[in-house]
A and B are shown apart, each in its own frame.
Chain A
């Protein structure tokens, strides 16, 4: 812990210019020959690492260190609705088992619901060491206040090192509430997880809204919390169950709530792009909504689902469920064709596991060309009509 101190004696016009160039957040203010750092600073410390020597300095302040050995176990929250587990939980159990091997910990499934014994059996088949169940009629539907009380109780009793929560819409509402209750860190939508033998979790995710990955850790707080999107990891193969199930006393947990569920109803089903085998993804190169019609012949020939990037959702051209990316859906199709997509990292992280990636763009500097199997440097407005001609002749 600490802060950045500016050594004013070393400040001159050159060092100010240099620092301003280095700082990605425009946080340096220079007035009356005094260089100060404003609230835009994110303490990335590039000014210290790359700036003129000695001008900026990181001053460490002392903090009391917690005893990390008091916290053991990797817990996976198993989200359920109508007593059906969300499959992201199995993927997280798979990852938790990999991590637990390195840090020598147990993997613990946590279920909250009203009739969840089947979910417990399923969790055992995926190879957890323990399933902790909080079962009560009041827990039938997700209620953020009551469920947070339950998770707080779970942590009080089990003092786990890590809690992983699936990044579904509900999980993304629940996890921050739990983190704030336990006054600990939370990293959203990790795309990779790793662990040190001492149990420190390395949480990797895109950062600063750009094409950058950050490795995040939680040096002095427990539990370490992370959410992970569905289809980011693979579910483990099933095994002969060896774990134990524990039903906990829920009478001591407060069920007071100010949120009353009136009704819940399924959305009309749109074909989920998460399960599509072939996807054509459209990006900002499409100038008008009606230009999307251009890709119909190709979509038909491939039997492809049409998906898009976030800007097209913002334009209102697509149902939000058609958005690929960390802020939309994660996809792993056999083939994805990216049309005029610049490839923000949040998009790439949502589709990079696709088996075959073809990207068409007229800007050679687009990020998708770094990860695609086939790069086609072309204007979509030129190549697609040509392709349509070939398709028409062929079919």
Chain B
């Protein structure tokens, strides 16, 4: 089987602020990491590879050149190939343009049997890109998958977890799944694999490698939604600050709870 895993580099810290006076974004360093849900996506792929002969796994991402580091991590964990899509003309892409761009990359690489995404990223938090990629590729998708079984090159059986119930579905391949934690335990990158991949060159594709090369369909220009304004969240100024020693604080807190008839 051919598997493809979509991964993304996200800020390691959620400490992003906006200066209320100047409106400038303030980011706490530029530390980055792999989106944590993508670790489960990778692990889901590795589990299939361990059970199914002649499976290859390709990891893809989109972003600046520095995003290669998450692809390297994916290779050292167990992927066979990695591809970066990088072009300034993809800048400012919303969900639709991002999904369209990734679907174009997947078409250029050849649609695999199974595409696996994390259920969402921790920076965008939309959970929408995976399903939209599937629609652009004209293949079915299932979201919030927590278990895969009974796979062959025609179908796969999936357990997916909704808010209050689970479903078992059988889906024809090719298809796309977005995965939640499930029973997958992310592995660490292997030093041995790192050595093996010493001379490996991660392929970098740009707009000119895609089938649709019209820049109007990408980035800000291909994005139906636009950010009109960014602003800091509401602050209510009614906070009461409780002060004192730890004994006093505990006593004051107890009094608040008692006064509110919570105790």
Q: B230–A213 contact, CB under 8 A?
A: yes
- Interface of A (DSSP majority class): mixed
With both chains docked as a complex, state the minimum distance between the C-beta of B224 and any C-beta of chain A, in angstroms: 3
Q: B225–A386 contact, CB under 8 A?
A: no
Q: A187–B233 contact, CB under 8 A?
A: no
User: Given A169-B143, A184-B224, A371-B235: A212 and B16 within 8 A (CB)?
Assistant: yes
Q: Which residues of B contact A314 (CB under 8 A)?
A: 36
C-alpha gap A81/B162 in the complex (Å): 12
With both chains docked as a complex, state the minimum distance between the C-beta of B225 and any C-beta of chain A, in angstroms: 4
C-alpha gap A321/B134 in the complex (Å): 27
Q: Which residues of A contact B224 (CB under 8 A)?
A: 183-185, 218, 220-221
Residue of B nearest to A314 (CB): B36
Q: A213–B23 contact, CB under 8 A?
A: no
- Interface of B (DSSP majority class): mixed
Is B169 located at the chain interface by the 8 A CB criterion? yes
B50-88 CB contact bits vs A (8 Å, 1 = yes)? 000000000000111110000000000000000000111
Is A38 located at the chain interface by the 8 A CB criterion? yes
Q: B140–A50 contact, CB under 8 A?
A: no
Selecting from A92-100, A121-129, A258-266, A287-295, the interface stretch reads A258-266
C-alpha gap A214/B225 in the complex (Å): 11
User: Given A37-B91, A185-B224: A177 and B132 within 8 A (CB)?
Assistant: yes
B124-138 CB contact bits vs A (8 Å, 1 = yes)? 111111111011100
A291-332 CB contact bits vs B (8 Å, 1 = yes)? 000000000011000000010001000001100001100000
- B-side interface residues, number (CB < 8 Å): 106
Q: B254–A390 contact, CB under 8 A?
A: yes
Q: Which residues of A contact B194 (CB under 8 A)?
A: none
Is A102 located at the chain interface by the 8 A CB criterion? no
A178-196 CB contact bits vs B (8 Å, 1 = yes)? 0111011111110000000
Our pick among B124, B226, B250 for the contact of A219 (Cβ within 8 Å) is B226
Is A206 located at the chain interface by the 8 A CB criterion? yes
With both chains docked as a complex, state the minimum distance between the C-beta of B45 and any C-beta of chain A, in angstroms: 20
Q: Which residues of A contact B122 (CB under 8 A)?
A: 209, 310, 327
User: Given A61-B221, A258-B172: A335 and B235 within 8 A (CB)?
Assistant: no
Q: Which residues of A contact B142 (CB under 8 A)?
A: 144, 173, 259
Q: B164–A374 contact, CB under 8 A?
A: no
Our pick among A188, A257, A265 for the contact of B126 (Cβ within 8 Å) is A188
Q: Which residues of B contact A382 (CB under 8 A)?
A: 246
C-alpha gap A215/B225 in the complex (Å): 10
C-alpha gap A176/B141 in the complex (Å): 11
Is B253 located at the chain interface by the 8 A CB criterion? yes
Q: B17–A212 contact, CB under 8 A?
A: yes
Q: A389–B143 contact, CB under 8 A?
A: no
In A327-383, which residues have CB < 8 Å from any B CB? 327, 334-335, 342, 344-346, 348-349, 352, 356, 358, 360, 367, 369-379, 382-383
Q: Which residues of B contact A262 (CB under 8 A)?
A: 157, 167-170
C-alpha gap A378/B243 in the complex (Å): 9
Q: A373–B96 contact, CB under 8 A?
A: no
User: Given A214-B227, A386-B246: A180 and B135 within 8 A (CB)?
Assistant: yes
Is B166 located at the chain interface by the 8 A CB criterion? yes
Is A68 located at the chain interface by the 8 A CB criterion? no
Q: A209–B124 contact, CB under 8 A?
A: yes
Q: Which residues of A contact B232 (CB under 8 A)?
A: 211-213
Q: Which residues of B contact A212 (CB under 8 A)?
A: 16-18, 25, 230-233
C-alpha gap A264/B141 in the complex (Å): 17
Q: Which residues of A contact B121 (CB under 8 A)?
A: 209
User: Given A184-B224, A202-B228, A218-B225: A169 and B128 within 8 A (CB)?
Assistant: no
C-alpha gap A179/B135 in the complex (Å): 9
Our pick among B22, B24, B64, B225 for the contact of A38 (Cβ within 8 Å) is B64
Closest 6 CB pairs between A and B? Answer: A210-B16, A43-B92, A185-B224, A209-B123, A386-B250, A185-B225
Binding site for B on A (CB under 8 A): 1-3, 22, 24, 26-27, 36-44, 46, 49-50, 61, 63, 81, 144-145, 148, 168-170, 172-173, 175-177, 179-181, 183-189, 202-203, 206-221, 257-267, 278, 301-302, 310, 314, 320-321, 326-327, 334-335, 342, 344-346, 348-349, 352, 356, 358, 360, 367, 369-379, 382-383, 386-387, 389-391, 394
Given contacts A212-B232, A215-B231, 14 further A-B contacts (CB under 8 A): A3-B219, A27-B91, A43-B91, A63-B221, A144-B142, A180-B131, A185-B94, A185-B96, A212-B231, A262-B168, A267-B164, A369-B241, A371-B235, A377-B243
